[in-house]
Amino acid sequence: MCFSAEASFMVGGTLLIVGAATIQKTRYKKDILVAFIPLIFAIQQITEGLLWISLANNMLHAQFWLSNIYGIFIGVIWPVYAPFAVYSAEINATRKKIIASTGVVGLGLAAYTFIGLVSQPMTAQVINHSIHYEHDVAAYQFIIVMYLLATCVPFIFSSYRHLYIAGSVITIGFFVAYFVYRETFASIWCFYAAIASGLIYLYFARRMNKPLIPLP
């Protein structure tokens, strides 16, 4: 699988358009955080596009900042933002409690990642036509499971069909990227998740008012 600055900019540019359209369709204040997800992914992909350019031109200062900004997206923003956004949109009390628990996990991961980036900044290099982000993580397997809980599970427990579908697609991408592209997992999964985030537009275009699976 081959990625490039052009691929990242293309996905980022497309998501800017999708994100703007998604925000425009927002009718309820509680949905606004969900509406911003494609737009945040757009900024993340544009950041990686710039990183591709800095790597190709050996721009060390730019590499340092862009790789660590990308690390903040991955390890600080998404573990907190994803559960909080889905929680805000949720209407079922039982589901909200489950989603809130993933948010607690996300807060812990965000703090862990931020401290880690301060003590050991992230570096990046190209491996097999994808970007490998180098950063030592203690108990890596445990962190990966917690990351899955914080970023994917909230969507799986959403009452709304199209958020559930988007979460399911992103979760499948998570496992494919982890088991097939282990060295470049972070870059490939985020690229895939960014594309899949476009499905969130359907939540607003074809919004369901009833839960997918009613709970007491």
- 202 pLDDT above the threshold of 90: no
- Identify the residue with better confidence: 205 or 144: 144
- pLDDT tens readout for residues 32-56: 999 999 999 999 999 999 999 999 9
Is the backbone of residue 111 left (phi > 0), alpha (psi -120 to 50) or beta?
A: alpha
Return the exposure string of 30-56: e unless at least 16 CB atoms fall within 10 Å of the residue's CB, then b: ebebbbbbbbbbbebbbbbbbbbbbbe
The model's confidence at residue 207, banded by pLDDT at 50, 70 and 90, is low
- pLDDT tens readout for residues 74-117: 999 999 999 999 999 998 899 999 999 999 999 999 999 999 99
Backbone phi, then psi, for 91, in 5-degree steps? -115, -20
Closest Cα to residue 157, out of 144, 18, 76, 166? 166
- Identify the residue with better confidence: 66 or 173: 66
Average pLDDT of the residues in 58-80: 95
- Using a cut of 0.85, tell me whether the model's pTM lies above it: yes
SS3 for 139? Answer: coil
Q: Which residue has the tokens 């807060």?
A: 107
- 1 pLDDT above the threshold of 50: no
Q: Return the domain boundaries, the chain.
A: 5-205
Range from 21-25, 52-56, 169-173, 210-214 carrying the lowest mean pLDDT: 210-214
- Identify the residue with better confidence: 131 or 207: 131
- 216 pLDDT above the threshold of 50: no
Q: Which residues make Cβ contacts (< 8 Å) with residue 140, sequence separation at least 6?
A: none
**Count of residues making up the chain:** 216
Mean pLDDT rounded to a whole number for the chain: 88
- pLDDT tens readout for residues 160-197: 888 898 899 999 988 988 888 878 888 888 888 888 88
